[in-house]
Amino acid sequence: MLPEGAEDRLLANANIIADACQTSGVEQWDLIGFQSYGHQLDIEAGKITMAAGGGEGGFGVRVVDGGRFGFAHLVDVAGAQRAVEQAVAIAKKSPSVEGFVLPSEQPAGRVGGRLDRAVLDISPEDLLEQADGVLSEVKSLDERAVVTGGGLGVSATAGCLMNSEGILSAGMTTSHGIGLQVSIEVDGKLTSSYQGQSSRSLLPEIPDCVSRAVHWAQVTQNPLQVESQPVDTPVLMTSEGFSPLFSMVVPSAMTGEKMVRKESFWSDKMGQEVLNPTLSIHDDGLLEGGMNSGSRDGEGVPRRRQNLIEHGRLSGMLWSTRDAAQQVADGRIDAASSTGSASSGGHQSPPSTGCTELFLTSSKQGMSMDALLQHMEDGYVVNSVMGAHTANPSSGDFSVTTSSILKVEGGEIVGSLKQAGLSGNLAKAMNGPVVLGDEVRRQGSYSSGSMHLPNVLLMDGLRINPA
């Protein structure tokens, strides 16, 4: 899957861009480069419909001169000089940010688990065999079930980062992922569930997400007939159901820029209780095997573990080098510096502040699903939501819909609903009684980084409106 010498060629091309920066006489510069290779296949209507492979990549270059910065990206290093000139031209027209300079070299520790050579050895034929196994497993779990969408893929990525101040970092990462939509149709009525899983290392032949997808397609069959009347109620959100809202609202609220600009619902609350006192949130940029962790951030600053909320109290915020300089220069905060939280997000945009591996934890022992249901007594279980991107990250307000919802009475699931609206304020709900489950699952994010979340029982501040 990975061509011989891929990392060496990436570094050689990066040096061509670095030479162009030096030739142009810019005060400071940094650049990132990526080159990915992989195999993937798609599944539709229970069949493998397309298998593909190939590579993609490019470079992003940022120049800084007198506090002004410009950015350009390119694919072919034959255009290096032109890209640098574009970045310089943009910088000349940009406002100066007093105190904005690129970071200098600092020692950074190694983060393991980012490369699994077993993933490098996966061939297209191996991927086809795994897909066949997944399709067979779905049928064995329920003869009625069909994988109506999704796919599998593996990739290897060579990456590098260097700047004019002596920072040079390069390395390889791998990934293996699967996503599948499982549908069940009975008497003309269709239910479905999407589940996914990804890892830096080789996934099992049949990942856990396969059985979860079948399970939720099964349990949402035969919906109950209920009154269409909104009710304030406890809601038990699975990790998959909770993560879209959490990732849309919380990471943004944790950035220093949002906090000092009064655009976070936690602005001006440093040291105050903002969550249930049993809850804590930390961002671990050094997580072994993390999808977004690593030794350095997108600006070359060493990553770290950052405690953001400790036992309910707000204790920290996230900064990139540029955002910190910008907010100090604008007078919104007296002092700020990078927390190693710059996220590159690829080669087509400059680094910005973001989370890496965000964890929600509790000082109390997590509960099993059955125990969470008993604790809730009466309420609902929500496994997925639609419209989470409309949640307001400044206030925490949201209004979404779900067709993967179960009704609970007396601690027992009594059936599903065809559809319902779910609304509330996430900041308020998490500041009330909250109980976490005992199994943490990694989830993707609408904003940045990865979310590591269990099932979450929110007892206050939510409203269900059955359709």
348-394: pLDDT as tens digits: 999 999 999 999 999 999 999 999 999 999 999 999 999 999 999 89
What phi, psi does 275 have (nearest 5°)?
Answer: -130, 165
- Tokens representing 188 are 């003309």
Length of the chain as a residue count: 467
Amino acid making up residue 79: G
Confidence at residue 3, expressed as pLDDT on a 0 to 100 scale: 81
Long-range pairs for 78-84: beta carbons < 8 A, 24 or more residues apart: 80/16, 80/17, 80/19, 80/20, 81/20, 81/23, 81/24, 83/17, 83/20, 83/59, 84/17, 84/20, 84/21, 84/23, 84/24, 84/26, 84/29
Report, in angstroms and rounded to the nearest whole number, the Rg of the chain calculated over CA atoms. Answer: 24
Q: Tell me the mean pLDDT in the region 441-465.
A: 94
Q: Tell me the mean pLDDT in the region 187-211.
A: 96
Residue 359 bridge partners (DSSP): 282, 452
304-326: pLDDT as tens digits: 999 999 999 999 999 999 999 99
The confidence band for 447, taking pLDDT boundaries of 50, 70 and 90, is confident
91-147: pLDDT as tens digits: 999 999 999 999 999 999 999 999 999 999 999 999 999 999 999 999 999 999 999
Distance of CA 70 to the CA centre of its chain: 27
251-276: pLDDT as tens digits: 999 999 999 999 999 999 999 999 99
Confidence at residue 83, expressed as pLDDT on a 0 to 100 scale: 97
Burial category of 387 from C-beta neighbours within 10 Å (exposed 0-12, middle 13-18, buried 19 and up): middle
Percent of the chain with pLDDT over 90: 94
- Coil/strand/helix, residue 367: strand
Residue 191 bridge partners (DSSP): 184
Reference 43, options 218, 153, 159, 180; nearest CA is 180
Residue 237 bridge partners (DSSP): 382, 456
Locate CATH 3.30.2290.10 in the chain: 6-219
Reference 130, options 43, 236, 233; nearest CA is 43
What phi, psi does 457 have (nearest 5°)?
Answer: -100, 115
Mean pLDDT, all residues of the chain = 96
71-93: pLDDT as tens digits: 999 999 999 999 999 999 999 99
389-412: pLDDT as tens digits: 999 989 999 999 999 999 999 999
CA distance 450 to 286: 13
161 and 296 Cβ atoms separated by less than 8 Å:
yes
**pLDDT of residue 162 exceeding 90:** yes
Confidence at residue 5, expressed as pLDDT on a 0 to 100 scale: 86
The confidence band for 51, taking pLDDT boundaries of 50, 70 and 90, is confident
The three-state DSSP-derived secondary structure of 397-454 is: EEEEEEEEEEEEECCEEEEEECCEEEEEEHHHHHHCCEEEECCCEEECCCCCCEEEEC
Distance set, CA 241 to CA 129, 350, 382 (Å): 30, 31, 6
**Tokens 């409309």 belong to residue:** 390
14-28: pLDDT as tens digits: 999 999 999 999 999
CA distance 31 to 401: 42
All residues at 6 or more sequence positions from 341 whose CB lies less than 8 Å from its CB, including other chains: 255, 283, 285, 297, 306, 318, 319, 320, 353, 354, 355, 356
Confidence at residue 140, expressed as pLDDT on a 0 to 100 scale: 98
Confidence at residue 346, expressed as pLDDT on a 0 to 100 scale: 86
Q: Is the pTM of this model over 0.85?
A: yes
**pLDDT of residue 344 exceeding 90:** no
**pLDDT of residue 227 exceeding 90:** no
Distance set, CA 144 to CA 46, 132, 138, 190 (Å): 11, 17, 9, 11
**pLDDT of residue 2 exceeding 80:** no
**pLDDT of residue 345 exceeding 90:** no
* Domain range 6-219, CATH class: alpha beta
Distance set, CA 50 to CA 36, 195, 248 (Å): 20, 20, 32
All residues at 6 or more sequence positions from 360 whose CB lies less than 8 Å from its CB, including other chains: 246, 279, 280, 281, 436, 451, 452, 453, 454, 456
Confidence at residue 228, expressed as pLDDT on a 0 to 100 scale: 86
